[in-house]
Chain A
């Protein structure tokens, strides 16, 4: 057992306790899968798919993509300057650094669903509050991730830009952005994919799009439409993932 130290056994013990505790809380019990039959019966009701309203559902899917796209792109655009303020090496001073850090972690700590509920009161139901909710949360998430990328960037180019007499913010922008750009794109596409799933949840509170259709179809037992919804969602996620990886390949 030369690979292990005594302290690591202690960690293992703690981990075991945590796992057992969590399983109790979540009623985790694989033997419940005995009633597998029920799930089969249920899923069989999904077919054959009802393709009659496919054009409409396709349109709703486009709406979902639009929500997710705006939510992540505007999130990124606002997060970029904030992340420079929230990175130790590029921030103007400690005050700006602390305030932006706090703002970002606040935005991150509020789930989109909660932002959605709050915005509903002023904006009414519809896709617009969903977009804003996703933007808010994404500013928090992307701001943090990008500020960490900035902090780990090579400081050589920054020093070179200072040495040519560039203004600090111009120098930082030019020295850092090219270094972190491929990673920023990766994070953007990942957040885009997440935003598609989030906008489904926001459909529950009237956010529109395919998520809202899924919710309605489920509530009204139209399972042959549910299957179409799910298929469209899967296609969207896979598509965004595919396009994202193609673009990243081009950029690196």
Chain B
């Protein structure tokens, strides 16, 4: 469904590529965790999938369409069916829970509708349902700054859910949460993943979380794909190899 072919990304002015010759394919139903040290290229990798980061070489394909050859409109369509969550949640401050969730519909609406907040009652209903699905128990009119980290990430997931996504991306979505909350967020991600039959590709720091939830683990090291296998295959030797500091 998503295919990386010889993908490299070199940031302007950088000597080494941040992503080097990556080849990989993802299928529907896979829950993929991406491991790797800080600076290994995980964020760059994730951002290539929905075109937030253009590739320097190679291509990323969605079904049979190459991302870099798409029209602007097609790119926006890819993005609106891709839910994405982040380490720092990236909610819009000074706006309420439900307002933040409704911004997930921006890709489906005309500019003036977004600008004036002209949402149908069915849209609102959808936002409230999303609040239910992510098991949020705060008032929908609450400003998001007032929420805890875990609650903020739930709002972000709800925002992604109203996009009605086919693909779910996460750039270290639990890295600023405590271990218990992190586990519960992953349970939620897995639950929605199964229910909606998504492709989920999520960066994690925590190997234990990855092994607990992933159906497939991949690992990056210095921009190169160095592991691709099942959680069982990801053993101590692989771990040492990926996280060693000698190279």
Interface size class of B (residues with CB under 8 A): 20 to 34
B59 vs chain A, min Cβ distance (A): 20
| A166→B90 contact, CB < 8 A | no
When chains A and B are docked, how far (Å) is the Cα of A181 from the Cα of B111? Answer: 21
Query: Which residues of chain A are within 8 angstroms of B81 by Cβ–Cβ distance?
Result: 165
| B90→A157 contact, CB < 8 A | yes
Query: Chain B: which residue is nearest A163 at the CB level?
Result: B84
When chains A and B are docked, how far (Å) is the Cα of A159 from the Cα of B108? Answer: 17
Our pick among B84, B89, B107, B169 for the contact of A166 (Cβ within 8 Å) is B107
| A165→B77 contact, CB < 8 A | yes
Our pick among A156, A157, A170, A178 for the contact of B106 (Cβ within 8 Å) is A170
The 0/1 profile, CB within 8 Å of A marked 1, for residues 87-125 of chain B is 011111111000000011111100100110000000000
| A164→B163 contact, CB < 8 A | yes
| B106→A161 contact, CB < 8 A | yes
Interface size class of A (residues with CB under 8 A): 10 to 19
Query: Which residues of chain B are within 8 angstroms of A181 by Cβ–Cβ distance?
Result: 94
Given the known interface contacts A157-B90, A167-B76, A178-B92, the answer about A162 and B106 at a Cβ–Cβ threshold of 8 Å is no
| CB of A160 closer than 8 Å to a CB of B | yes
| CB of A183 closer than 8 Å to a CB of B | no
| A164→B52 contact, CB < 8 A | no
Given the known interface contacts A162-B52, A163-B52, A164-B80, the answer about A171 and B106 at a Cβ–Cβ threshold of 8 Å is yes
| B106→A166 contact, CB < 8 A | yes
| A175→B106 contact, CB < 8 A | no
| CB of A179 closer than 8 Å to a CB of B | yes
| CB of A174 closer than 8 Å to a CB of B | yes
Our pick among B88, B95, B107, B111 for the contact of A156 (Cβ within 8 Å) is B88
Query: Chain A: which residue is nearest B50 at the CB level?
Result: A163
| CB of B211 closer than 8 Å to a CB of A | no
Query: Which residues of chain B are within 8 angstroms of A160 by Cβ–Cβ distance?
Result: 84, 86, 90-92, 156, 159
Query: Which residues of chain A are within 8 angstroms of B114 by Cβ–Cβ distance?
Result: 166, 170, 174
Please indicate which of the listed interface residues A163, A171, A175, A179 has the most CB atoms of chain B within 10 Å of its own CB. A163
Given the known interface contacts A157-B90, A167-B111, the answer about A162 and B95 at a Cβ–Cβ threshold of 8 Å is no
B135-164 interface (Cβ within 8 A of A): 156, 159-160, 163
A152-199 interface (Cβ within 8 A of B): 156-157, 159-167, 170-171, 173-175, 178-179, 181
Our pick among B76, B80, B86, B104 for the contact of A159 (Cβ within 8 Å) is B86
Query: Chain A: which residue is nearest B87 at the CB level?
Result: A156
B119 vs chain A, min Cβ distance (A): 14
Given the known interface contacts A165-B76, A165-B77, the answer about A178 and B82 at a Cβ–Cβ threshold of 8 Å is no
Given the known interface contacts A178-B92, A178-B94, the answer about A156 and B86 at a Cβ–Cβ threshold of 8 Å is yes
Given the known interface contacts A170-B106, A170-B115, A178-B95, the answer about A164 and B159 at a Cβ–Cβ threshold of 8 Å is yes
Given pairs A156-B86, A165-B80, A170-B106, 7 additional interface contacts (CB within 8 A) = A156-B89, A164-B104, A164-B160, A165-B106, A167-B106, A174-B92, A174-B106
Binding site for A on B (CB under 8 A): 50, 52, 76-82, 84, 86, 88-95, 103-108, 111, 114-115, 156, 159-160, 163, 169
